[in-house]
């Protein structure tokens, strides 16, 4: 009997050793890779007061859990070690003990209280969006973020800047692979920024880990959140709610600038958006319009309708020789202004009336009617667009 | 007419079938399985079905892990990737975990309460045979224009309103599986309440029966909610309603409220039967009664009741008012109390026992250890501010795989090893069983433990590609996933070789087992029963 | 002989226990057991009883419809038809179950006769076989292991004992086989 027990124990020990070897060899394989120098394993370093509270709260709760875990399982593993049949341990037959059962109901309850108190404080702090210094509207689209500075009166769209060649492994991946945008959100340091968050199509979620902000962007509803970033720098996050094909490719990048830098940047932005405020009654000549239209086309339409105007049928119809681009102006304007709706569902052709200025629309429509094989020859004026918009 | 031979020794059980000269005629081959109304047959069908779904869902998971081995897009395109995560979730939840639990109920409930069969034998047959149709619909959806549903298993509107025809097939599949679940749970509730043997009072029922009774209650309460939710999705998609469409006066967040009102109880539907299995295995191998039977029953019931008031902890980031967030945080934290009672009970049951560590016991201990970890990460996620940081990251993925794989699935493995000798009349290979446990245990942790780190560091879930700082842990997870997947082939081999050529099992292979089914011979029915069951 | 009488008693004992539960009114309607060599009565145990059953049903309805009406108030009325369907199914199932709580079967062996009587719902059937020609069939083909019993005589087969748990069925099979063989 005894010998059998020793044998079993040795077998168990060997089994443990073998398992250990496996784990060790995998760990070794991984450790040998030089790129593994900096393994990520914790929340990102927070830069806002809320972010810090969340970080500390997580650490605090994690350690309480670890302590309880160690206590409970040292009892269990001691028991596994000591109360085994192979050691000749006789089973006790006790069960039910009201005192013990009350104690292990009440103590966890008290521990929970100690967790709930700091958590409640943080919840209330996170919800306090009053008296902001800057208010920015964030809109989630499939698959980019729109930012509108409500106090300043300008806005822009922020797209993924990582080239497709990197994503499809044709090029080495850059430093901020997938977390880089063409135009980041810029905010002043040390100021309370309130973000109004909504979406244009499906639900997205605007998330910057270092700020401790994650708020779902819900179409048709506006929700808000706030942050006060103390340290200038660039902070990166991602859309956190599955929003379709390119959900993994719509990063959030926030650049925190000192107050002076921010003011300088903001006034530049205002100036840049000035062309949008062209005199809507100015009468342009066709050449001017077409030249400007080409730029507008390249920025907004080319992705789908292609540089040669041939589109990618059937998903993206061609413009070159199309009925719309060579037919009556009114119908063409209607498509560009209001988009195309099929069976009550918006299609990939969205409405541009709120995104582009009347001048830009006039320009791009003129361009489309006179580019490639299209030679309608007319020039659409901003005033026409403005009246069609009504 | 031959006289009845007496079989006392274990070795004869297998040959009994051949000792008789008279056998009733019943359909053979495939027809037997299609027409069967026997609870044991149907239990077997459920378990095999769920194993097939487990392997299929596992293949989807391995495709996901392969894509995520490196950053960049390698083997699948993003839309198909989303279909993979969606179908992996749906298949594992509705195809693998839930049917496996129903399979255990079919086999064990009648045996454990001394009932002749399930209360509605014909309906039992229907509720199983609906499932393959649902599975076919789900798999077929990969091949329709637009591909399979790709909005996540949670099917959030309006993304799922936007989707192609695959979504409609998924909705029909969910309806069919829901109907099957409702019929199954009506059957189980009726069997447990109405068909107990004389003397089998409620508080004498084995815990497995108790947990299934409560599970069936939950199912009956929340399956209509899911059915309603997906129907509204369907009408929003095709019949011009605007339940979840803001432009038409609806609210996309309402879908989430309805979905999670079903979804949170669903979590307990998946874990309670496993609690029951573990509570059966532990005392048997500790050779000591369960420490607090009554408190286990009360803890299970209070978990079930609490499960109806915590749903919005899945929605802390939709932007509820502070009062809402606090209510759902407190309610969720409260669940830790009855769950703690369960864990303490299990540990105390082992305390001063006389333990042996056969495969079922190993899986039960692995369950307690890892499920508790999943419970603790659940507590971390209950804390609203922390959840807002971790919502929709890999931390959540790690959390629910700790409770559903290391929780439900480990308990099911334990249950199969524990009862297989009773079901099949043959013993499995103990040494291989222990191998299966250790491989599963190690690779499970290699796969899912690093996901905590990924989530904390900021990797969102449901992405086909990721920033380069997440590469290392993703590689570890993928290696682990392959190990985990391959280990399950060993399980298949063990079960198959047990059924086909295992050595005959004694009537009671586990010294400490004390529920009713062990008083019967192995394999189950016919013969050599000497004394009627004495219910203590 | 002695043995079979003891056996018969043991089952009368079972039926006595059943009498203490509600809904056993039909027990009184059983014909008296004559000088039987073998006699066994089988019926399902109704461990809940109609009172508790319908109270429970009402509480389930309250929960299910309560939820559905709550959702309907929020605009999501489509939960309601499914709640109704679920509760309807449960009602139908329990009605059916209740109609069959009084079902019983009896197999009696006396002299050269084997008598199988059955009451299911409202239908009452009675079959008499010649003992010499009657054999016991056991459904136990692996891997089904459906332990069902049937009596076969002159090309006719009648199943019985479906309402008994496996262990009781086993005892009956042993005993009945012995009795039939003795003749
Ligand atoms: Cu998004
Ligand atoms: Cu939940």
CB contacts under 8 A, B 106-135 vs A, are: none
Rounded-to-integer distance, Cα B282 and Cα B366, Å: 11
Nearest-CA neighbor of B304 among B259, B344, B273? B273
B533 and B515 in contact (C-beta within 8 Å)?
no
| C110 and C124 inside one domain | yes
Q: Which residues of B touch A345 (CB under 8 A)?
A: 162
Q: pTM here?
A: 0.82
Q: Which domain holds residue C75?
A: 50-99
Residues 245-304 of B with CB under 8 A from C: 250-251, 254, 257-258, 261
Of residues B518, B493, B531, B532, the one with CA closest to residue B421: B518
| Domain annotation covers residue C86 | yes
Note whether residue C149 is domain-resident. yes
Sort out which chain B residues have CB atoms less than 8 A from A240's CB and list them.
317, 391-393, 460
Residue C36 and residue C115 in one domain = yes
Decide if C57 is inside a domain. yes
* C3 is a domain residue: no
Contact B457 A86 (CB under 8 A): no
Nearest to A251 by CA among A166, A145, A139, A156: A145
Confidence class of residue C43 from pLDDT cuts 50, 70 and 90?
A: confident
Structure confidence at residue C112 as a pLDDT band (50, 70, 90): confident
Kindly indicate the confidence band of residue C156, based on its pLDDT and cuts at 50, 70 and 90. Answer: confident
Closest CA to A231 of A191, A185, A176: A191
Q: Confidence band (pLDDT; 50, 70, 90) for C142? A: very low
Tell whether C74 is covered by a domain: yes
What is the CA(B398)–ligand 2 centre distance, in A?
14
Question: How many residue contacts between A and B have a Cβ separation below 8 Å?
Answer: 305
User: Does residue B67 have an active-site annotation?
Assistant: no
What pLDDT, in 10s, does the model give residues B229-241? 999 999 999 998 8
pLDDT score at A18: 53
How much is the pLDDT for A94? 81
Mean pLDDT estimate for chain B? 88
Residues 6+ apart with CB under 8 A from A347: A339, A340, A341
| Residue B264 bears catalytic tag | yes
Catalytic residue among B16, B461, B471, B497: B461
- The pLDDT score that the predictor gives to residue A315 is 58
- Residue B156, pLDDT score: 94
B175 is catalytic: no
Higher pLDDT, C110 or B156: B156
Ligand nearest to the CA of B156: 1
Query: What gap in Å lies between CA A250 and CA A233, rounded to an integer?
Result: 20
B389 or A7: which leads in pLDDT? B389
Confirm or reject contact between B534 and chain C (CB < 8 A). no
CA A218–ligand 1 middle distance (angstroms): 11
pLDDT tens digit sequence for B94-106? 999 999 999 999 9
Distance CA A52, CA A57 (A): 8
Q: In B, residues 457-476, which contact A (CB 8 Å cutoff)?
A: 457-458, 460, 462-473, 475-476
- Identify whether residues C149 and C174 lie together within a single domain: yes
Surface of A (335-354) touching B: CB under 8 A: 344-345
Which pLDDT value is given to residue B24?
44
pLDDT for A117-171, tens place per residue?
Answer: 999 999 999 998 888 888 899 999 988 999 988 777 788 999 999 998 999 999 8
pLDDT at C10 over 50: no
- Clarify whether residues C112 and C172 are in a common domain: yes
pLDDT at C19 over 80: no
Residue C2 lies in a domain: no
CATH number for the domain harbouring residue C143: 2.30.29
Judgement on whether residues C39 and C112 belong to the same structural domain of the protein: yes
Same domain, C146 and C159: yes
pLDDT at position C20 is 32
Angle between helices B336-350 and B322-334 in degrees, nearest 10: 10
DSSP A316: B
> pLDDT (tens digit, 9 = 90+) per residue, B12-68?
333 333 333 344 445 567 887 888 888 888 999 999 999 999 999 999 999 999 999
> Per-residue pLDDT for C25 more than 50?
no
Candidates A216, A217, A250, A253: best to mutate against B (most CBs of B within 10 A) is A216
* Residues C12 and C30 both lie in one domain: yes
More confident residue, C146 or A202: A202
- Banded model confidence at residue B520, pLDDT cuts 50, 70, 90: low
Domain finish residue from C67, C99, C131 = C99
Domains and CATH numbers, chain A: 9-86+95-126 (1.10.287), 134-273 (2.60.40.420), 278-389 (1.10.760.10)
Which among B152, B354, B383 has the least Cβ separation from residue A115? B383
Ligand closest to Cα of A204 equals: 1
Q: Single out the catalytic residue among B170, B339, B424, B447.
A: B339
Cβ(A121)–Cβ(A114) below 8 Å: no
Q: And the tokens for C179?
A: 């009795």
As a whole number of angstroms, the distance between CA A379 and CA C5 comes to 111
Q: Considering CB atoms only, which of B336, B384, B453 is closest to A40?
A: B453
Residues B203 and C64 sit within 8 Å (Cβ to Cβ): no
Q: Which of C67, C53, A380, A116 has the alpha carbon at shortest distance from B334? A: A116
Residues in chain C with CB shorter than 8 Å from the CB of B5 are none
Mean pLDDT of B327-345: 95
Q: Nearest by CB to B462, which of A79, A91, A242?
A: A242
Active site residue B107: no
Ligand 2 centroid to Cα of residue A168, in Å, is: 37
Does the annotation mark B399 as catalytic? Answer: no
Shortest-distance ligand to the CA of residue B261: 2
Sign of CA dihedral C3, C7, C10, C16: negative
Given this model, what pLDDT does residue B521 score?
61
The H-or-E segment that residue C106 falls in is strand C104-110
Residue A222 tokens, joined: 């506006």
Distance from CA of B325 to the nearest CA of A (A): 8
Instruction: Reduce the DSSP state of residue B206 to 3 states and report it.
Output: coil
Residue-wise pLDDT tens digits, C58-93: 999 999 999 999 999 998 999 999 999 999 999 999
- Reference B523, options B6, B11, B3, B60; nearest CA is B11
- Report if residue C156 sits inside a domain: yes
Is C47 an 8 Å CB contact of chain B? yes
CA distance C47 to C37: 30
Is B65 known to be catalytic? no
Query: Which of residues C64, C79, C99 is at a domain's end?
Result: C99
Rounded average pLDDT over A96-108: 90
What pLDDT score does C161 carry?
74
Q: Determine the pLDDT at residue C141.
A: 44
Q: Is the pLDDT of residue B483 over 90?
A: yes
Do C60 and C121 fall within a single domain? no
Among A8-17, A252-261, B140-149, where is mean pLDDT lowest?
A8-17
Contact B380 A62 (CB under 8 A): yes
Neighbours of A278 (CB within 10 A): 17
Distance of CA B22 to the CA centre of its chain: 40
* Active-site entry in B39, B65, B88, B436: B88
Report the pLDDT value the prediction gives residue A303, as an integer from 0 to 100.
60
Q: Which of B310, B79, B259, C155 is nearest to A246 (CA)?
A: B79
User: Would you place residue C167 in the very low, low, confident or very high pLDDT band (cuts 50, 70, 90)?
Assistant: low
pLDDT confidence bin for C30, thresholds 50/70/90: very low
pLDDT at C134 exceeding the cut of 50? yes
Supply angle C-alpha B216, B220, B224, rounded to 5.
145
Mean pLDDT computed over A35-49: 80
Residue C164 lies in a domain: yes
Residue B82 has pLDDT above 70, yes or no: yes
Domain count, chain C: 2
Q: Which chains lie within 8 Å of chain C at 3 or more CB pairs, if any?
A: B
Sign of CA dihedral A150, A153, A154, A155: positive
- Under a CB-based contact definition with an 8 Å cutoff, are residues C57 and C94 in contact? yes
Residue C9 predicted with pLDDT over 60: no
Q: How far is CA B395 from the centre of its chain?
A: 21
Q: Name the one residue in this structure whose structure tokens are 């529920």.
A: B515
Tokens of B464: 């086909």
pLDDT band at B69; cut points 50, 70, 90: very high
Most A-contacting residue of B362, B388, B477, B478 (CB-CB within 10 A), to test interface:
B388
Instruction: Say which residues have a Cβ less than 8 Å from residue A303's Cβ, sequence separation at least 6.
Output: none
Q: How remote is the CA of residue A215 from the centroid of ligand 1, in Å?
A: 12
Instruction: Quickly tell me which residue has 């502070």 as its tokens.
Output: B322
Beta strands (DSSP E) in chain A are 134-141, 144-149, 154-158, 185-188, 193-199, 204-208, 213-217, 223-227, 233-238, 251-257, 341-342, 345-346
Residue A211 to residue A52: CA distance in whole angstroms: 8
Minimum-distance CB partner of B24 among C79, C150, C163? C150
What pairs with residue A147 in β-bridges? Answer: A138, A156
- C74 plus C20 within the same structural domain: no
Query: Do both C134 and C165 map to the same domain?
Result: yes
Q: Which residues pair with A342 in a beta bridge?
A: A345
Final residue before a domain boundary, out of C84, C99, C114? C99
Asked if residue C107 and residue C148 are part of one domain, the reply reads: yes
Provide the token pair at A130: 């009053």
Is B181 among the catalytic positions?
yes
C80 and C165 together in one domain: no
- Per-state percent for chain B, helix, strand, coil, to nearest 5: 75, 0, 25
pLDDT of residue A276: 54
Which chains are within 8 Å of B by 3+ CB pairs? A, C
pLDDT in tens, B371-406: 999 999 999 999 999 999 999 999 999 999 999 999
Cβ contact C–A (≥3 pairs, < 8 Å):
no
Q: Does C86 touch chain B (CB under 8 A)?
A: yes
State what percent of residues in chain A have pLDDT above 70. Answer: 83
């Amino acid at each position: 009997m005894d010998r059998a027990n020793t044998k079993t124990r040795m077998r168990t020990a060997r089994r443990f050793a073998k398992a250990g070897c496996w784990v060790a060899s995998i760990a070794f394989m991984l450790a040998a890779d030089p790129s593994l120098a900096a393994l990520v394993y914790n929340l990102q370093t927070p830069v806002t007061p809320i972010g810090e509270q969340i970080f500390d709260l997580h650490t605090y709760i994690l350690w309480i859990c670890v302590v309880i875990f160690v206590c409970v399982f040292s009892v269990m593993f001691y028991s596994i070690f000591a109360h085994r049949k192979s050691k000749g341990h006789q089973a006790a037959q006790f069960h039910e003990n009201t005192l013990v059962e009350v104690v292990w109901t009440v103590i966890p309850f008290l521990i929970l209280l100690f967790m709930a108190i700091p958590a409640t404080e943080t919840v209330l702090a996170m919800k306090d969006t009053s008296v902001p210094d800057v208010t920015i509207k964030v809109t989630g689209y499939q698959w980019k973020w729109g930012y509108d500075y409500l106090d300043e009166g300008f806005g822009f769209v922020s797209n993924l800047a990582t080239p497709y060649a990197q994503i499809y492994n044709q090029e080495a991946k850059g430093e901020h692979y997938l977390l880089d945008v063409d135009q980041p959100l810029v905010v002043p340091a040390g100021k309370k920024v309130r973000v109004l968050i909504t979406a244009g199509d499906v639900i997205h979620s605007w998330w910057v880990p270092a700020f401790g902000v994650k708020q779902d962007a819900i179409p048709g509803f506006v929700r808000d959140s706030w942050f006060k970033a103390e340290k200038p720098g660039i902070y990166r996050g991602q859309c956190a709610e599955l929003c379709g094909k390119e959900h993994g490719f719509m990063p959030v990048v926030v650049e925190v600038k000192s107050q002076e830098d921010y003011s300088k940047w903001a006034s530049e932005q205002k100036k840049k958006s000035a062309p949008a405020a062209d005199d809507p009654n100015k009468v342009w000549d066709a050449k001017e319009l077409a030249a400007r239209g080409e730029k507008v086309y390249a920025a907004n339409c080319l992705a789908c309708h292609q540089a040669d105007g041939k589109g990618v049928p059937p998903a993206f119809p061609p413009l070159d020789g199309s009925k719309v681009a060579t037919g009556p102006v009114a119908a063409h304007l209607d498509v560009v202004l209001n988009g195309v709706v099929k069976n009550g569902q918006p299609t990939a052709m969205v409405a541009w009336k709120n995104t582009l200025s009347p001048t830009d629309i006039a320009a791009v429509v003129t361009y489309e009617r006179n580019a490639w094989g299209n030679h309608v020859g007319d020039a659409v004026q901003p005033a026409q667009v403005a009246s069609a918009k009504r | 007419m031959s006289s009845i031979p007496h079989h006392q020794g274990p070795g004869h059980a297998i040959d009994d079938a051949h000792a008789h000269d008279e056998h009733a005629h019943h359909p053979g081959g495939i027809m037997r399985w299609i027409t069967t109304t026997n609870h044991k047959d149907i239990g077997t069908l459920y378990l095999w079905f769920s194993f097939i779904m487990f392997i299929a869902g596992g293949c989807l998971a391995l495709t996901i892990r392969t894509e995520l081995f490196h950053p960049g897009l390698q083997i699948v395109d993003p839309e198909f990737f989303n279909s993979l995560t969606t179908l992996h979730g749906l298949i594992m939840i509705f195809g693998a975990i839930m049917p496996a639990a129903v399979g255990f109920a079919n086999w064990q409930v009648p045996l454990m309460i001394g009932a002749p069969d399930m209360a509605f034998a014909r309906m039992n047959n229907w509720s199983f045979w609906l499932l393959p149709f649902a599975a076919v619909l789900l798999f077929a959806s990969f091949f329709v224009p637009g591909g399979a549903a790709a909005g996540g298993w949670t099917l959030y509107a309006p993304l799922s309103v936007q989707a192609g025809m695959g979504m409609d097939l998924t909705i029909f599949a969910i309806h069919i599986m829901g109907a099957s679940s409702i019929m199954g749970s009506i059957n189980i509730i009726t069997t447990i309440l109405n068909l107990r043997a004389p003397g089998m009072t409620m508080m004498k029922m084995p815990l497995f029966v108790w947990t299934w009774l409560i599970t069936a209650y939950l199912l009956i309460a929340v399956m209509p909610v899911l059915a309603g939710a997906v129907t509204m999705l369907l009408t929003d998609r095709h019949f011009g309603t605007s339940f979840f469409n803001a432009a038409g006066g609806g609210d996309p967040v309402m879908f989430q409220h309805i979905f999670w009102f079903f979804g949170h109880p669903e979590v307990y539907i998946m874990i309670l039967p496993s609690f029951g299995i573990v509570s059966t295995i532990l005392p048997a191998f500790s050779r000591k009664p369960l420490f607090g039977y009554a408190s286990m029953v009360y803890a299970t019931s209070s978990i079930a009741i609490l499960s109806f008031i915590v749903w919005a902890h899945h929605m802390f980031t939709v932007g509820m008012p502070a009062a809402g967030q606090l209510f759902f945080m407190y309610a969720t934290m409260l669940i830790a109390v009855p769950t703690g009672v369960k864990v303490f009970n299990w540990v105390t049951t082992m305390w001063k026992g006389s333990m042996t560590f056969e495969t079922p016991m190993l899986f039960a201990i692995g369950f307690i250890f890892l499920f508790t970890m999943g419970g603790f990460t659940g507590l971390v996620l209950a804390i609203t501010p922390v959840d807002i940081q971790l919502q929709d990251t890999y931390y959540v993925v790690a959390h629910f795989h700790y409770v559903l794989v290391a929780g439900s699935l480990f308990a099911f493995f334990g249950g199969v090893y524990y009862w297989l000798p009773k079901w099949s009349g043959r013993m499995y290979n103990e040494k291989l069983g222990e191998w299966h446990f250790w491989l599963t245990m190690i690779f499970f942790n290699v796969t899912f433990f690093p996901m905590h780190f990924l989530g904390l560091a900021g990797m969102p879930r449901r992405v086909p590609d990721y920033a380069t700082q997440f590469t290392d842990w993703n590689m570890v997870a993928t290696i682990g996933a392959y190990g985990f997947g391959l280990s399950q082939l060993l399980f298949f081999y063990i079960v198959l070789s047990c059924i086909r050529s295992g050595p005959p099992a004694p009537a009671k292979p586990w010294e400490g087992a004390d529920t009713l089914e062990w008083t019967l011979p192995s394999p189950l029915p016919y013969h050599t029963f000497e004394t009627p069951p004495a219910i203590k | 002989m002695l043995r079979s009488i003891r056996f018969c008693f043991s089952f009368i004992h079972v039926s006595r226990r059943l009498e203490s539960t509600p809904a056993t009114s039909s027990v009184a309607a059983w014909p008296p057991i004559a000088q039987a060599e073998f006699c066994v009565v089988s019926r399902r145990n109704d461990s809940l009883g109609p009172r508790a059953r319908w109270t429970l049903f009402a509480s389930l309805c309250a929960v299910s419809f309560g939820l559905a009406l709550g959702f309907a108030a929020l605009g999501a009325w489509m939960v309601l038809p499914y709640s109704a369907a679920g509760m309807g199914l449960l009602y139908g199932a329990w009605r059916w179950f209740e109609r069959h709580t009084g079902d019983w079967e009896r197999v009696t062996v006396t002299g050269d006769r084997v008598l199988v009587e059955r009451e299911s719902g409202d239908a009452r059937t009675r079959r008499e076989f010649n003992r010499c020609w009657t054999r016991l069939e056991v459904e136990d083909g692996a891997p089904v292991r459906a332990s069902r019993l049937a009596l076969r005589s002159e090309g006719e087969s009648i199943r019985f004992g479906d309402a008994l748990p496996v262990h009781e069925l086993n005892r009956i099979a042993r005993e009945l086989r012995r009795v039939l063989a003795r003749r």
